[in-house]
Amino acid sequence: MNTLRITGGTVYDPANGIDGIVRDVCIADGQIVADVEAGRTINASGLIVFPGGVDVHTHVAGGALNFARGLVPELHRAARTFQHGAMPPAGGRAGAAGSLRRAGLGGVTPTTFATGYLYAGMGWTTVNEAAVPILTAKHTHEELHDTPIVDKSCLLLMANNEIVLDLLEAGEVERAQQVVGWLMWAAKVYGIKAVNPGGVAAWKWGRNARALHEPVEGYRRLTPAQIIAGLAGIVDQLDLPHPLHLHCNNLGIPGNVATTVETMQVLEGRRAHLAHLQFHAYDGEGWDSMRSGAVAVAEAFKAHPQLTADAGAVLFGDAVTITADGPWQHLLYQLTGRKWGNLDVENETGCGIVPYVYKDRSVVNAVQWAVGLELLLLVDDPWRIFLTTDHPNGGCFWRYPEIVQLLMDVEARRAQIRKLPPAAQQRIMLGDLDREYTLSEIAIITSAGPARALGLPQKGHLGVGADADVTIYPAKPDRDGCLFSYPRYVIKGGAIVVEEGDVVAVSDGREFVVRPVYDDGIEDYIRPLFEQVYTMSFENYPVEIGRLRRPALMTLAAKRR
């Protein structure tokens, strides 16, 4: 039996009510157990012990990200490199036998292998790729397989799928649910993502969906509100572990607070996860008057306890914006005037890519920076809002420790605020917020909370039976002055994968896949529609389960009506 005991560390395990207690954590065969008798011991005296980080919303694999990688050669030249070779010896111990590190590039859009090394090197052990079209799902799974160490899941883009929208337009919600179930299993995904509902479909006519209660371009009756409510209902009926993952309409546009609050009203009573809330919390009438709308969004969010959200925080510096939200990306391209990529994914969705630099001397960017932090500080229940940057949209995931530092240190925030343009300082309220996150709250927003929102009971905690994903940090700020940049140890599935911030062993992560309940007969309905409009043959469309090399299958039971 492969066992490990972590002794003497101060443990933060908020899911089990443990807030900074010195106790042992025992591991056997990849799981947390009550006790072990022999085996290796890690002395964690003076260190802090967290459950491994869980990223609820990131973009690390697939067609869109690969397009982005190709669009920014200048950023690759400046990126951190990972060289092919055996693991570097760490702590006087050579890397585990057979552990070979693959070459790769870090930077703003890391390559697949580097993505795994960078997440693990920071102490994150589970990531959720948030946007997959069915048409490129095979590619996404191939890349996720080549993203080592971390466990993965991915979400299917659904709010602009023309077969589904046609059914919702016709009021055939029951059949739409069957189709969604079939499509999910065809793509081998974990949940459902809705991006700018109706807006990407409208973009194919050169339009957007700006108003929630007006028909979408190309449809007679169907509105974005009906798509949102319809999909949220379908997700609930299918009983998916993760609620509808929603990128609201009007992302990035000043004055979008109204749309975001209205969306919460449309969702009334239904579960949903609001992605990258920062991009949906702007007040003002235009770019000249744009200001923080975090207070209004946070208040509305608090009044809808069935919702969760992630921050989508922004950090100053290089980013690449990648989203299915094609019309927004065209607007952003017009604002930046540099590069723009646009993809049409047949009848399913679209995609836009614009490299972007967030500058602290830009009033708009400064407001964006503040809004992300304001939301994290204003929503006082850490179980409902999680740490993300919508990587690589608001900043790179490997910069999360910088956000943690800002959340834990009011003086660090104020020092940054003082550097912002005076006009920006008047449009934010971050300076008025005194809240400082505790270590326990950090453990919630980086691990326990997102694991719970994803519906992964074995993740985000250190109770008996949990996956042995453990991160051990120094208790004091490290070489960068940032807490959490360089974990002393990261343990993934019971194996030590990182020591002193360096990857010392590489394992393959698993991929979580949900098998929803649907009537197999629905294929007879989809096939002729598909053969009419798609460019590929129907047989080549679904991803076979055998293509996923380490699937962790979750088969759902039929829900009683």
Partner 1 sequence: MITLTLVEQPAVPLEAEVVRPDVVAGLSAEAIRALPVFLGRRQRRLDDFFRVEGDGGDEIEVRGDAGRVKWIGRGMTRGRIVVRGNAGMHLGAHMAGGAIEVLGDASDWVGAEMSGGLIRVQGSVGGQAGAAYRGSASGMRDGTILIGGSAGLEVGMRMKRGTIVVAGRVRDFAGLQMKGGTLVLGGGAELRTGAWMLRGTIISLHPIPLLPTFAYACRYVPTFVRLYARHLQALGFGLPADEADGAYRRYTGDSSVPGRGEILVWSPRGD
Instruction: Check binding of 83 to partner 1 (CB under 8 A).
Output: no
In this complex, which beta carbon is closest to partner 1, that of residue 72 or of residue 404? 72
Question: In sequence order, what DSSP letters do the residues of 4-32 get, joined into one string?
Answer: EEEES-EEEEGGGTEEEEE--EEEETTEE
Token representation of residue 308: 């969760």
Token representation of residue 84: 């092919």
- What amino acid occupies position 331? L
Task: Map residues 52-71 to x or -, x wherever contact with partner 1 holds by CB under 8 A.
Answer: -------------------x
Instruction: Check binding of 72 to partner 1 (CB under 8 A).
Output: yes
Stretch that binds partner 1, among 73-81, 163-171, 327-335, 448-456 (CB under 8 A): 73-81
Instruction: Check binding of 35 to partner 1 (CB under 8 A).
Output: no
Token representation of residue 193: 């993502």
- What amino acid occupies position 276? H
Element holding 200 (H helix, E strand): helix 199-203
How many residues lie near partner 1 (CB under 8 A)? Answer: 7
Task: Map residues 123-152 to x or -, x wherever contact with partner 1 holds by CB under 8 A.
Answer: ------------------------------
Instruction: Answer whether 377's CB lies under 8 Å from 435's CB.
Output: yes
Question: Which of 40, 213, 221, 338: binder of partner 1 (CB under 8 A)?
Answer: 338
Instruction: Answer whether 451's CB lies under 8 Å from 463's CB.
Output: no
In this complex, which beta carbon is closest to partner 1, that of residue 224 or of residue 392? 392
Q: Beta-strand (E) ranges in 444-484?
A: 470-474
In this complex, which beta carbon is closest to partner 1, that of residue 34 or of residue 103? 103
Q: Beta-strand (E) ranges in 137-218?
A: 151-157, 191-195
In this complex, which beta carbon is closest to partner 1, that of residue 84 or of residue 549? 84
Token representation of residue 242: 């993760």
Question: Which of 17, 37, 77, 476: binder of partner 1 (CB under 8 A)?
Answer: 77
End-to-end CA distance of the chain: 45
User: Shortest approach of partner 1 to residue 73 CB, angstroms?
Assistant: 4
User: Shortest approach of partner 1 to residue 368 CB, angstroms?
Assistant: 22
Environment class of 176 (CB within 10 Å of its CB; exposed 0-12, middle 13-18, buried 19+): buried
Question: Which of 1, 37, 73, 557: binder of partner 1 (CB under 8 A)?
Answer: 73
In this complex, which beta carbon is closest to partner 1, that of residue 77 or of residue 476? 77
Categorise residue 7: left if φ over 0, alpha if ψ from -120 to 50, beta otherwise.
beta
Instruction: Answer whether 317's CB lies under 8 Å from 395's CB.
Output: yes
In this complex, which beta carbon is closest to partner 1, that of residue 317 or of residue 431? 317
In this complex, which beta carbon is closest to partner 1, that of residue 77 or of residue 560? 77
- What amino acid occupies position 77? R
In this complex, which beta carbon is closest to partner 1, that of residue 121 or of residue 355? 355
In this complex, which beta carbon is closest to partner 1, that of residue 169 or of residue 318? 318
Instruction: Check binding of 81 to partner 1 (CB under 8 A).
Output: no
Environment class of 359 (CB within 10 Å of its CB; exposed 0-12, middle 13-18, buried 19+): middle
Q: Distance between CA atoms of 397 and 389, rounded to whole angstroms?
A: 6
Which residues, other chains included, contact 334 with Cβ-Cβ below 8 Å and sequence gap of 6+?
none
In this complex, which beta carbon is closest to partner 1, that of residue 103 or of residue 303? 103
Q: What's the Cα-to-Cα distance from 100 to each of 41, 148, 558, rounded to whole Å?
A: 25, 11, 44
User: Shortest approach of partner 1 to residue 74 CB, angstroms?
Assistant: 4
Question: In sequence order, what DSSP letters do the residues of 138-154 get, joined into one string?
Answer: HHHHHHHHTS-SSEEEE
Instruction: Check binding of 422 to partner 1 (CB under 8 A).
Output: no
Instruction: Check binding of 221 to partner 1 (CB under 8 A).
Output: no
User: Shortest approach of partner 1 to residue 504 CB, angstroms?
Assistant: 24
Question: Which of 22, 45, 46, 74: binder of partner 1 (CB under 8 A)?
Answer: 74
User: Shortest approach of partner 1 to residue 390 CB, angstroms?
Assistant: 23
User: Shortest approach of partner 1 to residue 109 CB, angstroms?
Assistant: 12
User: Shortest approach of partner 1 to residue 107 CB, angstroms?
Assistant: 12
Binding site for partner 1 (CB under 8 A): 71-75, 77, 338
